[in-house]
Amino acid sequence: MEFRALWDEIAAIGKEPTGYLRYAWTEPELALRTWFRAQAGQRDLAVEEDGNGNLFAWWNPSAEPGVLTGSHFDSVPHGGAYDGPLGIVSALLAVDELRARGVRPARPVGVAVFAEEEGSRFGLACLGSRLLTGAVAPEAAAALRDRDGVTLAEAAGGVPKGHRPDLLARISSFVELHIEQGRALTVPVGVASAIWPHGRWRIDFAGEGNHAGTTLMSDRHDPMLTFAYTVLAANKEARLRGAHATIGRVSVEPNATNAIPARVSAWLDARAADASVVDDLVAAVTARASERATRDGTRVQLTPESLSGETAFDVALRDRIAERLGGVPVLATGAGHDAGVLSAHVPTAMLFVRNPSGVSHSPAETASDDDCIEGVRALADVLEDLAC
Our CB check for Zn ion shows the closer of 248 and 254 to be 248
**Of 196, 63, 183, 74, which Cα lies nearest the Cα of 127?**
74
The CB-of-176 to Zn ion minimum distance in angstroms stands at 9
For the CB of residue 343, give the shortest distance to Zn ion in the complex, in Å.
15
Indicate whether 338 belongs to the interface with Zn ion (CB under 5 A): no
Peptide bond into 28 cis (omega under 30): no
Spell out the residues 6+ positions from residue 234 whose beta carbon is closer than 8 angstroms to its own. Answer: 245, 246, 247, 268, 270, 281, 285
Query: Rounded to an integer, what distance in angstroms lies between the CA atom of residue 143 and that of residue 150?
Result: 9
Q: How far is the CB of 388 from Zn ion (least distance, A)?
A: 28
- Helix residue ranges, H only, 43-122: 85-100
Nearer to Zn ion, 83 or 237 (CB): 83
Half-sphere exposure of 130 (CA within 13 A, CB side): 22
Nearest-approach distance from CB 335 to Zn ion, in angstroms: 7
Determine the 3-state secondary structure of 383 from DSSP.
helix
Report d(CA 24, CA 344) in Å as an integer: 24
Q: Which is nearer to Zn ion, 206 or 350 (CB)?
A: 350
Minimum distance from residue 338 beta carbon to Zn ion (Å):
8
Sheet holding 244-253, edge to edge: 244-253, 263-271, 198-206, 299-308
State the minimum distance, in angstroms, from the CB of residue 226 to Zn ion. 33
Q: Which is nearer to Zn ion, 184 or 262 (CB)?
A: 184
User: Residue 83 CB: number of other CB atoms within 10 A?
Assistant: 27
For the segment 33-92, give every residue that binds Zn ion (CB under 5 A): 83-84
Number of residues located near Zn ion, criterion CB under 5 A: 2
Q: Mask: binding to Zn ion, 188-217, rule CB under 5 A, as x and -?
A: ------------------------------
Nearer to Zn ion, 83 or 384 (CB): 83
Strands (E), the chain: 15-16, 19-20, 46-49, 55-59, 66-72, 109-114, 171-179, 189-195, 198-206, 210-211, 244-253, 259-260, 263-271, 299-308, 311-312, 330-333, 348-353
> Closest CB to Zn ion among 112 and 277?
112
Residue 220's contacts (CB-CB under 8 Å, 6 or more residues apart) are: 207, 208, 210, 260, 297
Q: In whole angstroms, how close is the CB of 356 to Zn ion at the nearest point?
A: 18
Q: How far is the CB of 259 from Zn ion (least distance, A)?
A: 38
Nearest-angstrom CA–CA distance, 351 and 192: 6
Interaction with Zn ion in 84-143: which residues (CB under 5 A)?
84
| Pick 36 or 59: Cβ nearer Zn ion | 36
Q: Which is nearer to Zn ion, 129 or 133 (CB)?
A: 129
Binding mask 293-332 for Zn ion (x = CB under 5 A): ----------------------------------------
Footprint on this chain of Zn ion (rule: CB under 5 A): 83-84
